[in-house]
């Protein structure tokens, strides 16, 4: 991605504490790379289906993809054909779900360890910096 370009990030995450860490990481990346980052965060699979799957004209540069959401569904309902799979990062706290994401063609995984969200943030930042 070009320096100076806005980067649009879609975050599919239902946990507010994790979202706080993710937003902090995105702010750090924005300052470090001197780019604007536009963030859209959706907290459940229903909104994912309504706002993303039914609107293929909406484009994002990076997708941060959790799996489960508090409504009992899964963010994995997202139509991955709308995304460059090289620019998707699976961020589940359940290793098996990250493995499922790999089976779907997602190459990047950052395990979300709720006991150490600082480590999660550092690894996520590294992956995002590689993508920008």
75-110 pLDDT, tens digit each: 877 888 899 999 999 999 888 888 898 998 999 999
pLDDT band at residue 56 under the 50/70/90 scheme: confident
The model's pTM is: 0.90
Res 131: pLDDT? 94
Tokens 């790999």 sit at which residue? 102
Res 60: pLDDT? 95
What letter would DSSP give residue 77?
A: G
Res 77: pLDDT? 76
**Domain architecture of the chain: domains with CATH:** 7-131 (3.40.50.2300)
Question: Where is pLDDT greater, at 69 or 52?
Answer: 52
Tell me the mean pLDDT in the region 34-59.
Answer: 92
Q: Residue 3: is its pLDDT beyond 70? A: no
């Amino acid at each position: 991605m070009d320096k100076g370009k806005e980067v649009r990030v879609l975050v599919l995450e239902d946990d507010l504490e994790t979202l706080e860490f993710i937003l902090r990481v995105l702010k750090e990346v924005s300052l470090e790379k001197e780019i604007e980052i536009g963030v859209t965060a959706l907290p459940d699979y229903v909104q994912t289906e309504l706002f993303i799957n039914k609107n293929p004209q909406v484009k994002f540069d990076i997708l941060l993809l959790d799996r489960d959401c508090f409504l009992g569904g899964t963010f994995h309902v997202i139509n991955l054909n709308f995304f460059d799979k090289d620019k998707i990062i699976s961020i589940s706290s359940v290793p098996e779900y990250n493995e499922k994401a790999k089976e779907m063609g997602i190459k990047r995984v950052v395990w979300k360890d709720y006991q150490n969200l600082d480590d999660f943030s550092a690894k996520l930042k590294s992956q995002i910096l590689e993508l920008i």
